[in-house]
């Protein structure tokens, strides 16, 4: 797990640019740093102040020979930089950029290829030899063997760049579901990439401009980073499942989607014999996914909210270490939980059940409204862009607690809701699917067992009818329907701003799903999961923690889940039915049969009320809010406190104002 940066130019590059980019994301890799520079097909390998002595003194082909500061003033065509967080093979052998034996193929890599041991054996059978115990070397030689198709072999998370001097190309790739980030900039003279936006903002040729289309999506629709767009006008995001190939001879740039998740979209009635098969397979795949993600030469722990997903991970980890001692885990799993005094959002009692059942070591953090304000600038800087709610702060504090406890790798349940039907919105879709297929037997069964659901039957039917009718409305009526749903944030906008960007409402409308599996597919491949994974990545890497998410990137588990018909995913009123059944005997029964849905919540409304003065100061002095918002209505609604009861609306305006102040008004670090 690391941070990567790179720069290619038709002209010449000063070495200080790549050094400054890498230093900006030092938090992603404090253990080591390395660089390569190419000029007229010659490679210079360099280190920096954070390159350990053992690396300088090693004899690998990719060991640094020059200090980057000694190259100041020299000009290059291509530069790659790497910040290392040492997780696998903690020796100098894990240093990057890494190369092949001919020094013709170079790589900078962020992520983990969890099946690297199996791939290593496959490559050995083909005649390859290995000098490290890293997944980086396996990735590099996988590329040499299979070319661009190597990504189809990987089970894991990745963002990498390979400089291939044999073909004179730069090849970049991002994992299938967007666990690891990669941003880039491209014009006629420059191509630059980095793990985080803030590193690209160090480049003098990138204009720091607001992308107001993204601002509209965020304020009016609650969306972040749609498609390739970022909140910065000239910076793009490489989408999940995509590769880039840059031809260094002619600067030709090609984007290619290498993966498409398929899903089973036929309707089937419930069959108890098939259920047994699905449960058995899912149980085995979950155990294998978590077992692979325990591969580490650094200490491993787990997040624990008390929900079904994180509890599953902790309990499966516990089953694994019962049968096999893992030094990286130890005798007792270290579990990290955010707790509150507010019973409406605190899940500590649920987490405690898991801790006691597994005899885990429990480390709790207690975020407060005062600490939120103290940490807010760092949190926004960490995330790079405005974000959805203060739940991100709870996660930030969990990662901080892990860092302070000496844990370097955390498993987390992110992706479980998208994979196994964890959201309330899945229920009306499933009811509609049953009705459309005339399966009234199962429909009646679901209605009878609605008490096992986190939602009542009246709400399910109401949501189902609304979404079904939406298919038959003309666009103006859809627009009116959508505006009605989001009318409150829209009424707080400057009318001219709304008029200019209201077309985004149509463009950003997701297709109403015909089936439960189609809805799951939309969320796991669309903005929903990618957004959560961005929060996860930035918060964990801020504290030099590698976060691993088996439900969000284990390709075998995910593809199998999407082969399972809808009727086994919500059943007898239970969400996540197949997961609950698969974890019978593994999870404590109170957790396995838990039906309420809290999410990763915080006492946000209370926190903002207590800090109302600070919130007002930021919002009413913000230049961007003066451009896009109806300031007088904002003031009136804050004075009457109406806005506190309007979901995430207040947070969005406040967060946007503070983000703009930091990144555009001189506070940017």
Active site residues: 2
Give the containing element (helix H, strand E) for 237: strand 236-237
3-state secondary structure at position 471? coil
> What is the SS3 assignment for 344?
coil
**CA separation for the pair 402, 413 (Å, rounded):** 16
**Residue 286 CA to its chain's centroid (Å):** 20
Query: Cβ–Cβ contacts within 10 Å for residue 302, how many?
Result: 29
Instruction: Determine the 3-state secondary structure of 306 from DSSP.
Output: coil
**Dihedrals phi, psi of 393, to nearest 5 degrees:** -70, -40
- Strand order of the β-sheet with 236-237 is 66-67, 42-47, 32-39, 75-84, 2-14, 190-194, 183-186, 236-237
SS3 category, 594: coil
Instruction: Give the CA-trace dihedral at 577, 581, 587, 588, to 10 degrees.
Output: 90
Helix (H/G/I), strand (E/B), else coil: 302: strand
Helices and strands, counts by H and E, the chain = 30, 19
Among the residues of 390-508, which ranges form H helices?
391-404, 416-420, 426-436, 440-448, 457-470, 475-485, 487-491, 495-501, 503-507
| CA–CA separation, 539 and 547 (whole Å) | 9
Cis-peptide into 97, omega within 30 deg: yes
The length of the chain, given as a count of residues: 669
List, in sequence order, every residue forming a beta bridge with 38; answer none if it has no partner. 43, 78
With H, G, I as helix, E, B as strand and everything else as coil, classify residue 108.
strand
Residues 416, 529: Cα–Cα separation, whole Å: 10
State the Cα–Cα distance between residues 386 and 659, nearest whole angstrom: 6
């Amino acid at each position: 797990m690391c941070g990567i940066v790179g720069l290619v130019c038709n002209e010449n590059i000063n070495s200080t640019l790549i050094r400054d980019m890498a230093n900006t994301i030092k938090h992603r890799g404090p253990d080591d740093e390395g660089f390569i520079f190419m000029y007229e097909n010659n490679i210079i390998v360099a280190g920096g102040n954070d390159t350990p002595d053992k690396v300088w003194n090693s004899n690998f082909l990719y060991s640094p020979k020059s200090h980057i500061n000694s190259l100041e003033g020299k000009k290059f065509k291509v530069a790659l930089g790497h910040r290392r967080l040492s997780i696998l093979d903690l020796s100098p052998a894990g240093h990057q950029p890494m190369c092949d034996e001919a020094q013709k193929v170079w790589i900078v890599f962020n992520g983990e290829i969890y099946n690297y041991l199996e791939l290593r054996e496959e490559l050995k059978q083909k005649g390859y030899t290995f000098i490290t115990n890293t997944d980086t070397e396996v990735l590099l030689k996988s590329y040499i063997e299979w070319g661009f198709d190597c990504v189809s072999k990987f089970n894991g998370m990745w963002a990498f760049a390979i400089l291939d001097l044999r073909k004179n190309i730069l090849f970049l790739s991002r994992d299938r579901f967007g666990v690891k980030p990669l941003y880039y900039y491209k014009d006629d003279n420059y191509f630059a990439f980095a793990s985080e936006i803030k590193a690209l903002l160090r480049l003098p040729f990138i204009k720091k401009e607001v992308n107001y289309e993204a601002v509209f999506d965020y304020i009016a629709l609650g969306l972040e980073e749609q498609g390739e767009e970022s909140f910065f006008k000239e910076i793009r995001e490489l989408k999940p499942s995509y590769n880039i190939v840059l031809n260094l001879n002619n600067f030709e740039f090609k984007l290619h989607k290498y993966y498409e998740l398929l899903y089973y979209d036929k309707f089937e009635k419930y069959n108890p014999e098939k259920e047994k098969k699905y449960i058995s397979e899912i149980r085995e795949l979950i155990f294998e996914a978590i077992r692979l993600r325990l591969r580490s030469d650094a200490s491993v722990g787990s997040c624990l909210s008390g929900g079904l997903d994180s509890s599953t991970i902790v309990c499966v980890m516990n089953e694994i270490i019962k049968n096999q001692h893992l030094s990286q885990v130890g005798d007792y799993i270290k579990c990290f939980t955010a707790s509150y005094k507010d019973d409406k959002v605190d899940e500590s009692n649920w987490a405690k059940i898991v801790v006691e059942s597994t005899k885990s070591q429990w480390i709790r953090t207690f975020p407060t409204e005062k600490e939120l304000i103290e940490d807010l600038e760092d949190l926004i800087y960490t995330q790079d862009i405005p974000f959805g709610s203060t739940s991100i702060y709870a996660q930030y504090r969990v990662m901080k607690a892990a860092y302070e406890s000496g844990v370097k790798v955390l498993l987390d349940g992110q992706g479980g809701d998208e994979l196994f039907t964890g959201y309330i919105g899945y229920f009306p879709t499933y009811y509609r699917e049953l009705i459309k297929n005339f399966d009234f037997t199962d429909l009646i069964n679901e209605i009878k067992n609605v008490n096992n659901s986190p939602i009542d039957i009246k709400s399910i039917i109401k949501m189902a009818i609304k979404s079904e009718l939406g298919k038959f409305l003309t666009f103006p009526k859809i627009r009116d329907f959508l505006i009605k749903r989001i009318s409150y944030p829209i009424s707080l906008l400057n009318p001219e701003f709304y008029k200019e960007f209201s077309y985004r409402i149509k463009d950003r409308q997701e297709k109403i799903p015909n089936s439960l599996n189609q809805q799951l597919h939309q969320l796991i491949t669309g903005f929903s999961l990618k957004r959560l994974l961005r929060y996860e990545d930035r918060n964990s890497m801020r504290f030099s923690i590698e976060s691993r998410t088996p439900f969000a990137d284990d390709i075998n588990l995910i593809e199998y889940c999407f082969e399972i018909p809808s009727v086994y995913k919500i059943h007898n009123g239970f969400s996540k039915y197949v997961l609950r059944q698969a974890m019978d005997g593994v999870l404590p029964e109170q957790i396995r049969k838990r039906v309420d849905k809290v999410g990763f919540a915080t006492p946000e409304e209370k926190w903002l009320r207590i800090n109302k003065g600070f919130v007002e100061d930021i919002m009413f002095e913000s230049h961007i809010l003066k451009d896009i918002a109806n300031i007088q209505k904002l003031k009136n609604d804050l004075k009457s406190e109406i806005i506190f009861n309007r979901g995430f609306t207040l947070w969005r305006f406040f967060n946007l104002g503070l983000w703009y102040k930091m990144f555009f008004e001189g506070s940017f670090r």
